[in-house]
Amino acid sequence: MALIVQKYGGTSVANPERIRNLAGRVARYKAMGHKIVVVVSAMSGETNRLINLAKEIMPDPDPRELDMMVSTGEQVTIGMTALALIELGIKAKSYTGAQVKILTDDAYTKARILNIDEHNIKQDLDDGYVVVVAGFQGVDAKGNITTLGRGGSDTTGVALAAALKADECQIYTDVDGVYTTDPRVVPEARRLSKITFEEMLELASQGSKVLQIRSVEFAGKYKVKLRVLSSFQDEGDGTLITFEEENNMEQPIISGIAFNRDEAKITVLGVPDRPGIAYQILGPIAEANVDVDMIIQNTGADGTTDFTFTVHKNEMNKALGILRDKVQGHIGAREINGDDKIAKVSIVGVGMRSHVGIASQMFRTLAEEGINIQMISTSEIKIAVVIDEKYLELAVRILHKAFELEEA
Ligand code: ADP
Ligand code: ASP
Ligand code: MG
């Protein structure tokens, strides 16, 4: 007998029929004697619908009230899921994040889980219930409803698995595992039967939305056994996220390609080249809780520097406003520009540690198609480039081919 957390994404709960299908799977696991906790997302499209509704009232919605609204999507599906289970004669109980007490910080729309009170869930499981928990939401120390960022139900699932010391966390979605890249962009993409935790962390951080990055971080920190599976088929082992790196000569150098259309580039031109400048530029950005991803700085012949960094597209205007109001005059920068027509493509693989020439192969492949590279960043197992967004799909396809990632 095992304790299993099963998380179902938006397409897996898109209508009553799919919810009944989900309940059928849960019933089969229950019949095998397992204890099951189910985490569900809102019906697909619902979170977007709620965000758009909020924006109709207030173009830049107050974050507390936005979370109040968008968290309702999951409250509907937990009730529906519990009903579908009860209809099958299975004892089931649904809980919102606040009812469980999934305690988060107070960073509305991107809150972090601080603690989970697992007491009631454990009691219910011992009493024979299937427990259904709303993904994506929590509650801060003052009782305000918070949400965990887009795709956050994955994190609810893995965090619950960690808190309950579950034997496995299964992420059910609309693909049957983690692929070499998004199969919607490259139909020749190949499913990976396993992937190392480190690679999954890089892919998620670089934009593969199959798993939210924080869910992978939780899995790593608490060594949660994590598997991505299809909710549309009962066969198949999906993709297992492993913690051991195999010493396998046949291990490909590159395991996957991630991409991201969500970033915007900000350039501060003509900044005096002196100590403290990076801090003066990025300090106020950090204080405003805007996350910065890539950063580069170049010194020109005239001794001034150009400072470029990327932020989420949604936060570009906020960051530009802060720089123009508080920073530009103060440091004497000549000009500040924003560009949201960019995209980032990243190749990821632990094999990079033991092979040279991967970056040059990537740059050559892009150059051959005339794709200009605007920014580069690397880690031990990743090379990421920023390019014009209009070349994104082309870049992913040619890199997928160049690194021989297709189905054999
Ligand atoms: P859910 O609603 O179940 O959470 P998501 O839409 O968040 O589902 O994530 C699944 C989607 O992630 C897939 O439909 C696929 O288009 C996309 N995706 C991006 N990169 C990958 C990848 N490397 N492997 C599999 N799917 C990927
Ligand atoms: N419903 C939320 C979203 O659309 C959370 C999730 O699906 O994981 O982002
Ligand atoms: Mg998702």
DSSP result, 174-240 = SSSS-BSS-TTT-TT--B-SEEEHHHHHHHHHTT-TTS-HHHHHHHHHHT--EEEEESS-S----EE
- Residue 244 has a pLDDT of 77
Residues near 401 by beta carbon (within 8 Å), at least 6 away in sequence: none
Angle, nearest 10°, between helix axes 119-126 and 153-164? 70
Contact 145, 107 (CB under 8 A): no
- Residue 299 has a pLDDT of 84
Where does 7-141 have alpha helices with state H? 16-31, 46-57, 63-70, 72-87, 97-100, 119-126
Q: Two tokens at 104?
A: 């988060």
Cα 163 to Cα 314: distance, rounded to the nearest angstrom:
32
Could you give the C-alpha distances from 199 to 178, 226, 311, 345, in angstroms and in order? 11, 14, 23, 15
Task: For ligand 1, pick from 178, 199, 209, 345 the residue to mutate: most ligand atoms within 8 Å of CB.
Answer: 209
- Residue 162 has a pLDDT of 98
Q: Is 41 in the pocket of ligand 2 (CB under 6 A)?
A: yes
Which 8-state DSSP code applies to residue 372? Answer: P
From ligand 1's centre to the CA of 209, what distance in Å?
A: 5
From ligand 3's centre to the CA of 312, what distance in Å?
A: 18
Backbone phi, psi, residue 234, to 5°: -90, -15
Q: Which ligand has its closest atom nearest to the C-alpha of 148?
A: 2
- Residue 250 has a pLDDT of 59
Dihedral sign of CA atoms 110, 121, 168, 11 in order: negative
Cα 195 to Cα 243: distance, rounded to the nearest angstrom:
9
Where does 3-174 sit in CATH, by number?
A: 3.40.1160.10
Residues in the chain: 408
Residue nearest atom 6 in ligand 2 by C-alpha distance: 151
Residue nearest atom 5 in ligand 2 by C-alpha distance: 151
From ligand 3's centre to the CA of 140, what distance in Å?
A: 23
Question: Would strands 145-147 and 137-139 be described as parallel, antiparallel, or unpaired?
Answer: antiparallel
Contact 255, 192 (CB under 8 A): yes
Task: For ligand 2, pick from 8, 78, 136, 171 the residue to mutate: most ligand atoms within 8 Å of CB.
Answer: 136
From ligand 3's centre to the CA of 174, what distance in Å?
A: 10
Digits of tens for pLDDT over the chain (408 positions)? 899 999 999 999 999 999 999 999 999 999 999 999 999 999 999 999 999 999 999 998 999 999 999 999 999 999 999 999 999 999 999 999 999 999 999 999 999 999 999 999 999 999 999 999 999 999 999 999 999 999 999 999 999 999 999 999 999 999 999 999 999 999 999 999 999 999 999 999 999 999 999 999 999 999 999 999 999 988 889 999 998 766 565 578 899 999 999 999 999 999 988 888 999 999 999 999 899 999 999 887 788 999 999 999 999 999 999 999 988 988 989 999 999 999 999 999 999 988 889 999 999 999 999 999 999 999 999 999 999 999 999 999 999 999 999 976
Looking from the CA of residue 181, the nearest atom of ligand 1 is 23
Looking from the CA of residue 174, the nearest atom of ligand 1 is 14
Looking from the CA of residue 8, the nearest atom of ligand 1 is 3
Q: Which ligand has its closest atom nearest to the C-alpha of 176?
A: 1
User: Among 135, 131, 159, which Cα is nearest to 44's?
Assistant: 135
Q: Which class for 268: exposed (0-12), middle (13-18), buried (19 or more C-beta within 10 A)? A: buried
Q: How far is CA 323 from the centre of its chain?
A: 28
Residue nearest atom 27 in ligand 1 by C-alpha distance: 182
Task: For ligand 1, pick from 178, 210, 348 the residue to mutate: most ligand atoms within 8 Å of CB.
Answer: 210
Residue nearest atom 21 in ligand 1 by C-alpha distance: 182
User: Among 404, 28, 42, 12, which Cα is nearest to 232's?
Assistant: 12
Exposure on the CB side of residue 70, measured as CA atoms within 13 A: 32
From ligand 3's centre to the CA of 222, what distance in Å?
A: 21
* pTM, to two decimals: 0.93
Cα 43 to Cα 51: distance, rounded to the nearest angstrom:
14
- Residue 284 has a pLDDT of 95
